[in-house]
Structure 1
Amino acid sequence: MTANISPEERDRMLQWLNRNLRDLQKYAHQYVAYNGDGIIAVNEDLDRVLEEADTSGVVYSIYLVPGFTGSIVILPIYFRTVSRHEWQPNYSVSLRNQNREIDLTMLVDSGADFSVISFKIGQNLGFALADREEILVGQTLGGAVKYVLRRIDFSIDGYQFNAPVAWLQQETADIMLLGREDVFDRFNIEFRQAEEKIIFTRREKE
């Protein structure tokens, strides 16, 4: 179910995720509902995962397992590294569109201009293409991706704000990113890789 996740539970969930990133690779391109105790549901069909997770009656977050095995990320190219530290800068985010809300785990990426959500997540939040709406094409190091821009309500550590997202139009693009636009203007973000931790601190209005 979607609920306010306490900071303690959020940290426990992210710790579980970081400890199990390698094992989760067997679920590449699938959606995983999980919490600090482990996996609740997993499937390529997001609706089935949400239904099963909601039925469990426990808090959870959704993680889209990317189809790569490296641990250094340059969107959307992934490299293997000689380092044994496999932590990734994931963070818990809640997204709301009208009366639909979902708790997600997104990769914090300072190299992404906009936050990015997958095609299925956008559909679940109620997004649909307008008649004759122009589909945009973004050029990345890994090639071109098709997307449309939407605005959505974010909640990070209980702080709510509205920001744009790039809604991908390819079902096979398993990318979920928390990008710079609006987000990085509202928070000072500190990456502590040695501690496997990210700290979001709200900026005072200037």
Structure 2
Amino acid sequence: MDLDYSKKEPIVFPYKHQDIYVKGKLEKVLRPMALVGVKKQNFKMNALIDTGSDRTISFLNPFGYQFGVGDTIEGEPDELRGLTGTEKAFPTHMDIWIGEHRLNVPIFWVTRPFKINEDYEMILGRKIIFDNFDVLFRQKEKKVYFYKI
């Protein structure tokens, strides 16, 4: 296993401040976020980089509807389980861009509406993303480095 990144050019994302309700109180928190292109390279969304999530997740209302996802949904939603409980979501494959690199990933579109001070626009999970990039978190620098594998 070679962890020498000296000859690779990373895609670098700074941590970002987010206003999120924590225990009923609005707080400003610093989170590792990536600005990713969704469906089209020029449509950008802020995505929390979540090493604890297998799946990439966003919200059907409003984001999925903006991409026309609501027109292609069939059947019953899947059930997603996490630390905060259970959500219903429809999986749909979609292209996302990290820098200039395009990946086709399953995005799970949560059926409940997005809450601006409680939710992230998107959660970037490990599946496919971490198969294509080595992701290095530099807490002291407040940056995340994506190295294409």
TM (norm. structure 2) is: 0.76
Q: In structure 2, what is the equivalent of residue 125 of structure 1? A: 67
Give the gaps of 5 or more residues in structure 1.
1-6, 26-66, 71-79
Q: In structure 2, what is the equivalent of residue 48 of structure 1? A: none
Q: In proportion to residue count, which structure has more helix?
A: 1
1:177 corresponds to which of 107, 112, 123: 123
1:147 corresponds to which of 89, 111, 116: 89
Q: In proportion to residue count, which structure has more strand?
A: 2
Shift, 1:91, TM fit: 1.0
CA RMSD in angstroms, aligned pairs only: 2.8
How many equivalent residue pairs? 132
Structure with larger RCO (C-alpha < 8 A, sep 6+) = 2
Identity of aligned residues (%): 24
Give the gaps of 5 or more residues in structure 2.
1-9
Q: In structure 2, what is the equivalent of residue 90 of structure 1? A: 33
Instruction: Answer whether contact 2:32 2:143 (CA < 8 A) is retained.
Output: yes
2:141 corresponds to which of 192, 195, 200: 195
Q: Which residue identity does 2:132 align to in structure 1?
A: R
Q: Which residue identity does 2:34 align to in structure 1?
A: Y
Shift, 1:141, TM fit: 1.9
* Match status 1:104 vs 2:40: no
Shift, 1:68, TM fit: 2.0
Instruction: Answer whether contact 1:101 1:125 (CA < 8 A) is retained.
Output: no
> Can you list the C-alpha shifts for 1:153-202, whole angstroms capped at 9, x where unaligned?
01101111211111111114634200011000000000001101000000
d(CA) in 2 for partners of 1:123, 1:154: 16
d(CA) in 2 for partners of 1:121, 1:172: 9
